[in-house]
Amino acid sequence: MSPASSRPFDPSTPPHIITLVLLAGVGALNMNIFLPSLPGMVDYFETDYAVVQLAISAYLGVTAVMQLLIGPLSDRYGRRPVMLGAMLIFLLATVGCFFAPTIEVFLAFRFLQAVIASGLVLSRAVVRDMVPPEQAASMIGYVTMGMALVPMIGPSIGGVLDAYFGWQGSVAILFAFGLAVLILAWRDMGETNHNRSSSFGAQFRSYPELARSRRFWGYAVIAACASGAFFAFLGGGPFVASAILGLSPKELGLYFALIAFGYMIGNYLSGRYAARAGINAMMMTGAVISTVGMALALVLFAVGFGTALALFGSILLVGVGNGLTLPSANAGLVSVRPHLAGSASGLGGALMIGGGAGLAAFTGSLLSVETGAYPLLWVMLTASAASGVGVLYVIARERKLEREGLTA
């Protein structure tokens, strides 16, 4: 899948797609491998669960902020040095987590680990450096399909390691994985940004140029709304599954894999057809599938068929829809201003994660046993439909610019 100019293990040529998948995968694994270890960490550090849980919730917030810095840095100094530097910092922070004597020290190093968000930000920017938008959507689809495997197996790996080695086992495997990927990136990740900005200050001053692009905001809204449906599910799905549907933790884990499986299907289809169909067609198809999935769930619950299969079968369609929508939306937002691809990827990623975290908290606050699953279903339906509205806006904007002979 890599371009013809890319040669494996040659740092003078663009990286192979497998390298990009693994770079993004380190960040994805770091995000959720700790989940099974949180109760044990409460006892180890002699603190409250709410404090330990910051290793997940606050980490997402730090990741969102970090992406705002990573993009401009890579536009100024290049993708390769920023990625390699971020990997080194991540490894040092991981060592700090392993030897942390208190929860405060652990959280400080844990937040420093958020620099590994560089993998996700720069994998999108590197793809856009290498190929045009439609082909970028295809490659990003394959990258994110590979990434989808990590959230599926990450907690399982963490659970096994915790059972035998405690929470430090997860930290150790993160270090080993990160070190291996750093060596791979050092040997395989050639520089792809050949139009660097003149200074870091100038790079930040270029943000208004990006912010003035209505198409950028259109793509960003599409990505934020599509991923927002997933984050809403993360915020409310566990409560609905356990408190309303009565699922056990084991059953919940098995059902949760459906959305990742659907996402992989959508990513695979994006990889196969985005270059031929075009990013707008892929985004609209994904938005329609997600919206239909949530509308189906509402109908099934309304007629009294509110079962786990009804909920998670519909969520499977949301996963497929997001797998179709997000690669093309990400390819679009980094293509509006190719010379600002890193900044666009960082800003777009921050909007996705920051907005998604907020939507997850909002959804969770609406749910109770009395409300049933309906607040979750309506929020997810609204987010999915909003992504479709965003696609219509982007299409209308493109047509207007074509008539006027403009590009912004």
Same domain, residue pair 287 and 312: yes
- Does residue 158 sit within a domain? yes
Place of tokens 């392993």: 98
Same domain, residue pair 398 and 274: yes
Reduce the secondary structure of 29-72 to three states and give it as a string.
HHHHCCHHHHHHHHHHHCCCHHHHHHHCHHHHHHHHHHHHHHHH
What's the Cα-to-Cα distance from 120 to each of 143, 159, 328, 349, rounded to whole Å?
9, 25, 15, 8
The conformation of residue 370, written as its DSSP 8-state character, comes to T
Q: What angle do CA 376, 380, 383 make, to 5 degrees?
A: 140
Query: What does the pLDDT read at residue 4?
Result: 45
Same domain, residue pair 75 and 147: yes
- Does residue 153 sit within a domain? yes
CATH number where 360 lies: 1.20.1250.20
Q: What are phi and psi of 16, to 5 degrees?
A: -75, 155
Core vs surface per residue 123-133: b (16+ CB within 10 A) or e: bbbbbbbbbeb
- Does residue 1 sit within a domain? no
Same domain, residue pair 197 and 297: no
Same domain, residue pair 387 and 400: yes
Query: Tokens representing 34?
Result: 């700790």
- Largest interatomic CA distance in the chain: 65
Which stretches in the chain have pLDDT values below 70? 1-8, 10, 133-134, 144-149, 151-152, 155, 197-207, 249-250, 253, 406-408
Q: What is the pTM of this model?
A: 0.74
Same domain, residue pair 290 and 218: yes
Query: Residues 59-74: pLDDT tens digits?
Result: 878 888 888 888 888 8
Same domain, residue pair 241 and 186: no
Cα–Cα distance measured from residue 387 to residue 81, given in angstroms and rounded to the nearest whole number: 35
- Please identify, among 175, 204, 233, the residue that sits at the C-terminal boundary of a domain: 204
- Does residue 117 sit within a domain? yes
- Does residue 9 sit within a domain? no
Q: Which of 172, 140, 142, 238 is nearest to 33 (CA)?
A: 172
- Does residue 251 sit within a domain? yes
Same domain, residue pair 45 and 95: yes
Same domain, residue pair 393 and 316: yes
Question: How many domains are there within the chain?
Answer: 2
- Please identify, among 169, 204, 239, the residue that sits at the C-terminal boundary of a domain: 204
Where does residue 34 rank: exposed (0-12), middle (13-18), buried (19+ CB within 10 A)?
buried
Cα–Cα distance measured from residue 146 to residue 394, given in angstroms and rounded to the nearest whole number: 28
Whether 336 contacts 398, CB under 8 Å: no
Domain that holds residue 331: 209-404
Amino acid (1-letter code) at residue 266? G
- Does residue 4 sit within a domain? no
User: Which residues, at least 6 apart from 28, have a Cβ–Cβ distance to it below 8 Å?
Assistant: 120, 147, 150, 151, 154
- Does residue 6 sit within a domain? no
Same domain, residue pair 29 and 154: yes
Which residue stretches of 131-244 are H helix? 133-165, 168-188, 200-205, 207-211, 214-239
Same domain, residue pair 174 and 189: yes
- Please identify, among 188, 204, 220, the residue that sits at the C-terminal boundary of a domain: 204
Query: What does the pLDDT read at residue 97?
Result: 96
Same domain, residue pair 150 and 280: no
Cα–Cα distance measured from residue 386 to residue 141, given in angstroms and rounded to the nearest whole number: 21
Query: Tokens representing 72?
Result: 């401009």
